[in-house]
Chain A
Amino acid sequence: MENLAKRYLLALVAVTLLAVGAGQAQMQNQTPQAARSRADEMLDRWNDIGNKLVAMAQDFPEDKYDFKVQKDERTFAQNLLHAAALDFVLIRRISGSNFGPDFGEGDNPSRDVFKTKADVVKFVQEAVADGAQVIQQQGDAGLDNTSKFFGNRLAHNSSIWMLAIEHSGEHYGQLVVYYRANNMVPPDSRR
Chain B
Amino acid sequence: MKQTAVFLLLGLVTLVAASAQDAKSAPQGQQLSVAAVVDREISNVEKQIVEVAEAMPEEKFNFSPEGLNIPGSDYKGVRTFAGQVKHIAASNYFIWSPLTGDKLPEGLKDGNGPQNVKAKAEIISFLKDSFALGHKAAASLTAENMLQNPGSSKSTRLRLAVFGVEHAFDHYGQMVEYLRMNGIVPPASRPKSD
Contacts and interface: CB of A to CB of B under 8 A. Distances in A.
Given A146-B29, A158-B37, A41 B170 contact: no
Contacts of B174: 173-174, 176-177
B117 interface: no
Given A144-B31, A162-B162, A162-B165, A170 B172 contact: yes
Contacts of B32: 156, 159
B31 A169 contact: no
Given A38-B146, A177-B174, A166 B169 contact: yes
B147 A38 contact: yes
Contacts of A156: 32, 37
Given A38-B146, A159-B37, A182 B172 contact: no
B31 to A, nearest CB: 7
Given A172-B170, A181-B70, A36 B156 contact: yes
Main secondary structure of the interface of B (DSSP, over half): helix
Contacts of A170: 169-170, 172-173, 176
A184 to B, nearest CB: 8
B173 A38 contact: no
Contacts of B159: 41, 44-45
Interface residues of B, number: 40
Interface residues of A, number: 41
A165 interface: yes
Interface stretch (A12-20, A68-76, A84-92): A68-76
Contacts of B7: none
A180 B65 contact: yes
Nearest to A42: B162
Given A36-B147, A183-B73, 12 more contacts: A35-B147, A45-B166, A69-B180, A70-B177, A154-B29, A162-B41, A166-B165, A174-B173, A177-B65, A177-B174, A178-B177, A183-B72
Interface of B: 28-29, 31-32, 34, 37, 40-41, 44-45, 65, 70, 72-75, 78, 146-147, 156, 158-159, 162-163, 165-167, 169-178, 180-181, 185
